[in-house]
Amino acid sequence: MKNRLKELRAERDWTQEGLATLLGVSRQTVIAIEKGKYAPSLPLAFRIARVFEQRLEEIFDPEE
Among 13, 41, 53, 55, binds another protein (CB under 8 A): 41
The enclosing H or E element of 14 equals none
Closest to another protein by CB, 11 or 56: 56
- 55: number of Cβ within 10 Å: 9
Q: Write down the least CB distance from residue 44 to another protein, Å.
A: 6
Residue 37 and residue 25: Cα distance in Å, rounded? 16
Closest to another protein by CB, 24 or 57: 24
Residue 58 near residue 46, CB atoms below 8 Å: no
Binding site for another protein (CB under 8 A): 24-26, 28-29, 31-32, 37-38, 40-41, 44
